[in-house]
Amino acid sequence: MDIIVLGIRFLFFALFFAFVKAATVFRRKDRNMLVDYILGGAVTLFLLVYLTYALIRPERF
């Protein structure tokens, strides 16, 4: 369980720094797509975490 928490923390910080870097790039270019990229990344991250959890702990019938 501790490895999962550490993995999630690492992923969160990596995505945070990637977001900061992307925000500075988009500040110079166009900002119109930034909200779409953030929303798409959040949905992708949620699906990754949910499907990984479902793979690790499947339901028992």
pLDDT digits (tens, 9 = 90+) for 3-59: 777 777 888 888 888 877 777 766 655 666 777 788 888 899 899 989 998 888 888
What pLDDT, on a 0 to 100 scale, did the predictor assign at position 28?
58
User: In which region does residue 7 sit, left (phi positive, over 0), alpha (psi from -120 to 50) or beta (all else)?
Assistant: alpha
Query: For residue 22, what are the domain limits?
Result: 2-56
DSSP state of 5: H
Domain-located, residue 32: yes
CA distances to 5, 15, 33, 44 from 2, rounded to whole Å, are: 5, 20, 36, 23
Domain-located, residue 61: no
DSSP alpha helix (H) spans, 1-61: 2-28, 34-56
pLDDT digits (tens, 9 = 90+) for 45-59: 899 989 998 888 888
22 and 38 Cβ atoms separated by less than 8 Å: no
Domain-located, residue 15: yes
